[in-house]
A = this chain, B = another copy of it.
């Protein structure tokens, strides 16, 4: 680290920063049409970050008003989402901060009972880039213990809170022996993570703000964040994302939040989107873990993945 301005950095410095964590081998070869399971053409990964009150808690903002805005997620959003997923017979991945799991000990079991994946989303939706390696590892290790205790098996994947993947995160992931991460954005399709140029045996299932309800719909009275697009506009964007993924025999993943998408005027677009995607032949609705296991054989590096 130097005191220089970025435009004064020597090549060694900017190169090291850029190349620290990079995208490696594509785990779905981009040029070759492929089959998923039994002839499926494309994969759809629905995921829900069950943040509820934790985004406000993480900032130390704990007024009853803000707590209630998050409570909507667990009280109303989650049951509605579970009903929709059941009706359409699709499985999804739920990423939940440990604090939220502890606050309502029935929530994680309900996900598991319905056949959904439960995976890591930090301790209290902490911002990793503000923590040391030890702090990040401690919080995530304890979170894994909580989810294992409540779900009956150890989580195999992580989505970092706010997708705030720090300089320590990959090392923490390897220390915990996780199969996959789903926080980075270097591709639309999964790839193997590289550390300083070397394959790591960790699957990355990339995300994008484009396919995230919070980027468009989050409302924060005092920071000035507002809903900038209407749900109907999001539906069009997500259909366009799916259409191109489907044509490319690739992956379409979506990140949603129970306290955001769970409202009536928004759930209607989720239903319409699932309906639209299901009307296409050969779409595999998979959990992130199912996809990661499916493509893991293509990894270059030996995995440290610890099965529970």
Contacts and interface: CB of A to CB of B under 8 A. Distances in A.
A7 B240 contact: no
Given A6-B57, A20-B64, A232-B236, A227 B210 contact: yes
A8 to B, nearest CB: 9
Contacts of A7: 58, 123-124, 126, 131, 135, 139
A63 interface: yes
B65 A163 contact: yes
B231 A226 contact: no
- Categorize the interface residue count of chain A: 35 or more
Contacts of A75: 23, 186-187
A14 B57 contact: yes
Interface string A191-234: 00000000000000010111000011001010111111111110
A53 interface: yes
Interface in A2-44: 5-7, 9, 11, 14-15, 17-23
The count of identical subunits is 4
A68 interface: yes
B264 A188 contact: yes
Contact of A63 (B68, B165, B245, B266): B165
A22 B52 CA distance: 13
A185 B221 CA distance: 13
A177 to B, nearest CB: 19
A20 to B, nearest CB: 6
Interface stretch (A166-174, A284-292, A296-304): A166-174
Contacts of A231: 237, 240
Contacts of A266: 210
A67 interface: yes
Contact of A11 (B62, B102, B225): B102
B208 A263 contact: yes
B58 A6 contact: yes
A68 B264 contact: no
Nearest to A15: B103
A15 B67 CA distance: 11
A262 B123 CA distance: 34
A15 to B, nearest CB: 7
Nearest to A184: B68
Contacts of A53: 18
A187 B78 CA distance: 12
Interface in A235-253: 236-238, 240-241, 243-245
Given A14-B99, A18-B57, A68 B23 contact: yes
